[in-house]
């Protein structure tokens, strides 16, 4: 029973959910390169550089990766915010417009 609860918690956790967004007939998802997103969704309404994040690799080496946030919308009253780290999509948030 305990194993089942742990498995269920992992399935429902935000870490296990993939970020996805439909752009016309294309679908973008977590880990897509920003050039793929731009080719499927077009130029974003805003494109903001947020800075860098330090990443430590398996061997203890560090690298700084860029962080960007793009926004699209409104699309049917919704605004979409896409977060990229190291030029890969990591998060999609949506908010209803005012």
Q: Tell me: the pLDDT tens digits for 36-91?
A: 999 999 999 999 999 999 999 999 999 999 999 999 999 889 999 999 999 999 99
CA-closest candidate to residue 27, choices 40, 14, 18: 40
Q: What is the CATH number of domain 18-96?
A: 3.30.1450
pTM for this predicted structure: 0.77
Q: Which helix (H) or strand (E) holds 11?
A: helix 2-12
Has residue 7 got a pLDDT over 60?
no
CA-closest candidate to residue 53, choices 7, 22, 88, 4: 88
CA-closest candidate to residue 29, choices 20, 16, 37: 20
């Amino acid at each position: 029973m305990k194993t089942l609860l742990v498995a269920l918690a992992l399935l429902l956790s935000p870490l296990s959910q993939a970020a996805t967004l439909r752009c016309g007939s294309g679908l973008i998802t977590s880990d897509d390169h920003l050039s793929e997103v731009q080719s499927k969704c077009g130029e974003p309404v805003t494109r903001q550089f947020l800075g860098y994040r330090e990443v430590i690799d398996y061997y203890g080496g560090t690298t700084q990766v860029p962080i960007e946030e793009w926004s699209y919308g409104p699309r049917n009253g919704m605004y979409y915010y896409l977060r990229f780290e190291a030029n890969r999509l990591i998060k999609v948030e949506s908010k209803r417009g005012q």
